[in-house]
Structure 1
């Protein structure tokens, strides 16, 4: 078993995930092998939260939930309870690794879970979805659920000999098609509501500074989330959405617009930028055959409201379709 003290003087790598992976590989795995060897073949180990999982961490990320940490996932609690195993591991764990101290006062560095219970807890009915009905109950929490789904899909897996974590990641890799249409319809509504309609048609003309900032922030979030979701991915927590958005296929066409609309205070210029963002995003939806080229029905409604209606019409399941506001 590795001597934890031998690593305390090594300069910390630039990213927390490097430290976390090493913490498991060189200490956690060795400790389990010496105490509960039979568990090693029946667990998965990784991380599914935190900026480090998204490789978005920096020096400011290190005040909590960063560095020497990992989560253990089990099929069941056979042999020893999760609570007992977690307590033993925390008590035995070195307080410092690679020059970084654990931050127990914020996020425990080692957590032990039953896999299906942990990942199922993000859903309203507290279980992993088996059918569309299991998604229906999440209708009011879909935006919050989506960030967890992003972390599940992109989580860092350190050890998974039986595929406990890999199977769950595969199961939740994408929205079912009807939920995908629903989520895009919701985001099209937000693009229209905060951008095309309320900002361009009302707030920019009223020159209302506070409402304008609220509208622009929600509009930008909806645009980036829609870009991510139409790539068949999940949009993460708002603080990291731009970090993830930059990897989207359409990011190169939109990022300069999004940056300028954040930094200019001139209302007419902002309205022009919002319109340009909407036109660019709509062209991409048409290019991908998500909405038709002749979408405009001549009603005069903002196009993204019309896109919302069209995408809702593409939902096959009546219960899912009824979820659209």
Structure 2
């Protein structure tokens, strides 16, 4: 069965889902529930939501699907009736793809051809508030506190911002997406501080490890610095970074990527720590000049210098953290532990960043009354 699916012409998942809604789902809703007010879209988990799906993606969690958002007051009554109607009236296939789903042993979805009803469709019914609670671990749709922003992984935020809303006569999902489009200004500054802090913590170690003959350690740290420079680039372009599988693909779409990748290649190809350090300093200089172009602070030095009296050259990332910190005026953001950043800057564990029921457990990290990480 999978070989039959793989033989079908590939269509990007977001396009497939939107066509499925417009041509198959929407007419049924209009006919059976003519007065229904709702929103419909493809938001949440899945490579297709971010636009990175390929023909290979069709083997799991992919296909004609979506989410219907109902009014909270009507959800209990209408959700079962709508779902049941779709089970019995959706077409068996759309664009050649089954609309019926089964499950792999690991619980992921797989498309299955059938000619029997009821269909196990993947039109999820919820409300905007329930979606916020279940997917974002937010108690309500309202402006977020700084700590709530910091506890939301950028992968999760990306799948809300970069997904697609097909229809919305309720307005709540549109409101939620507008709220989550990007961080408030001072939270953004705080994240920039956190990212420059991470870079500053290890900028000298590429030279120090190389100087003692630890070339492997120098290469590892250089790679870590490249990843953190990439994360800084996402922040500076005001784009949410996805998790590791699509991190490089998304970075390649940034405006700065064509220039930075050439510099990164020099770092990877360097045969000595001095060459590696010089290439990394070119990348730091690029970011420093970009920082000055953003006019977030007074212009800062973009040249490298020696690290005290030692033979290692750095750009001194601490100057950027200090200057950016001085621009923060929101009392709630100023009360946060300085330079700590958000969950993405603290961890790359999938078990933390993809488990919604765990986000809120990290709020105490940012509590100035209990945190021991404040400088």
Residue equivalent to 1:239: 245
Cα distance change of structure 1 residues 45 and 287 upon mapping to structure 2, 3 Å threshold: closer
Find 1:136's aligned residue among 133, 136, 147. 147
| Equivalent residues of 1:42, 1:75 under 8 A apart | yes
| Equivalent residues of 1:147, 1:234 under 8 A apart | yes
Residue equivalent to 2:332: 319
Cα distance change of structure 1 residues 316 and 267 upon mapping to structure 2, 3 Å threshold: same
Residue equivalent to 1:46: 42
The reply to whether residue 67 of structure 1 matches residue 80 of structure 2 is: no
Cα distance change of structure 1 residues 156 and 323 upon mapping to structure 2, 3 Å threshold: same
Shift of 1:31: 2.7
State how far apart, in whole Å, the 2-side matches of 1:81 and 1:162 are.
Answer: 17
| Equivalent residues of 2:39, 2:70 under 8 A apart | yes
Cα distance change of structure 1 residues 162 and 137 upon mapping to structure 2, 3 Å threshold: closer
Shift of 1:217: 4.4
TM-score by length of 1: 0.80
- Higher mean alpha-carbon deviation, 273-282 vs 46-55, is at 46-55
Shift of 1:88: 2.4
Find 1:307's aligned residue among 320, 328, 346. 320
Cα distance change of structure 1 residues 12 and 38 upon mapping to structure 2, 3 Å threshold: farther
SS of residue paired to 1:148: helix
SS of residue paired to 1:233: coil
- Higher mean alpha-carbon deviation, 279-288 vs 307-316, is at 307-316
| Equivalent residues of 2:209, 2:217 under 8 A apart | no
Shift of 1:198: 3.0
Structure number with bigger Rg: 2
Q: For residues 84-233 of structure 1, what are the structure 2 equivalents within 5 Å?
A: 84=80, 87-88=83-84, 91-92=87-88, 93-94=90-91, 96-101=93-98, 103-105=101-103, 106-107=108-109, 109-121=122-134, 123=136, 125-130=138-143, 134-139=145-150, 141-142=151-152, 144=153, 146-194=154-202, 196-202=203-209, 205-207=212-214, 209=216, 212-213=219-220, 215-233=221-239
Shift of 1:123: 4.9
SS of residue paired to 1:73: strand
Shift of 1:239: 2.3
Find 2:25's aligned residue among 28, 31, 44. 28
Give structure 2 stretches of 5+ with no counterpart. 110-120, 309-313, 341-375
SS of residue paired to 2:204: helix
> More helix by proportion, 1 or 2?
1
Cα distance change of structure 1 residues 125 and 218 upon mapping to structure 2, 3 Å threshold: farther
Residue deviations 1:183-241, cap 9 Å, x none?
A: 111111222334x233343367543536843x344433322222122223322223223
| Equivalent residues of 1:257, 1:273 under 8 A apart | yes
SS of residue paired to 2:35: helix
Shift of 1:158: 1.6
SS of residue paired to 1:43: strand
Residue deviations 1:2-55, cap 9 Å, x none?
A: xxxxxx9x953431222211221122112323333332x333333343222222
Cα distance change of structure 1 residues 83 and 295 upon mapping to structure 2, 3 Å threshold: farther
| Equivalent residues of 2:146, 2:332 under 8 A apart | no
State how far apart, in whole Å, the 1-side matches of 2:93 and 2:217 are.
Answer: 46
State how far apart, in whole Å, the 2-side matches of 1:82 and 1:217 are.
Answer: 52
State how far apart, in whole Å, the 2-side matches of 1:103 and 1:12 are.
Answer: 19
Cα distance change of structure 1 residues 169 and 271 upon mapping to structure 2, 3 Å threshold: same
